[in-house]
Amino acid sequence: SAVISQKPSRDICQRGTSLTIQCQVDSQVTMMFWYRQQPGQSLTLIATANQGSEATYESGFVIDKFPISRPNLTFSTLTVSNMSPEDSSIYLCSVEQATSVYEQFFGPGTRLTVL
């Protein structure tokens, strides 16, 4: 299975600022996904990031608020822009497993607190 790392693992930020979260995979993958997990809640898909094309955003999420980069097949970033306390969540990236398009492996997550 792919090994996924995220940076930072956690951060405390002031409202109005932006934070960029990095996701690094130890192998090349076609599809990467970004999820949000609010405190005590389930995971919600933010967007799908494919290399060489713009990210595809889910309903309720927009590029201006959550710009995503996917410069190559092993790396992606998610920026949380103009943060408010409501953005306090765990942000997770995941990748599809090479032998099954449905099996996704998740990174450890980035715990964001906005004051």
Partner 1 sequence: GESVGLHLPTLSVQEGDNSIINCAYSNSASDYFIWYKQESGKGPQFIIDIRSNMDKRQGQRVTVLLNKTVKHLSLQIAATQPGDSAVYFCAETGGSNYKLTFGKGTLLTVNP
CB of 69 to partner 1, least distance (A): 20
Select 50 or 81, whichever has its Cβ closest to partner 1.
50
Select 36 or 114, whichever has its Cβ closest to partner 1.
36
Cβ count within 10 A of residue 5: 13
Select 47 or 114, whichever has its Cβ closest to partner 1.
47
CB of 82 to partner 1, least distance (A): 26
Residue pair 68/59 in contact by the 8 Å Cβ criterion: no
CB of 27 to partner 1, least distance (A): 16
Select 1 or 17, whichever has its Cβ closest to partner 1.
1
Note the residues at the interface with partner 1 (CB under 8 A).
4, 31, 33, 41-45, 48, 58, 92, 94, 96, 101-109
DSSP category for residue 86: G
The string over 51-90, giving b where at least 16 C-beta atoms fall within 10 Å of a residue's C-beta and e elsewhere, is beeebebeeebeeebbbbebeebbebbbebbebeeebbbb
How far, in Å, CA of 47 to CA of 76, rounded?
12
CB of 50 to partner 1, least distance (A): 10
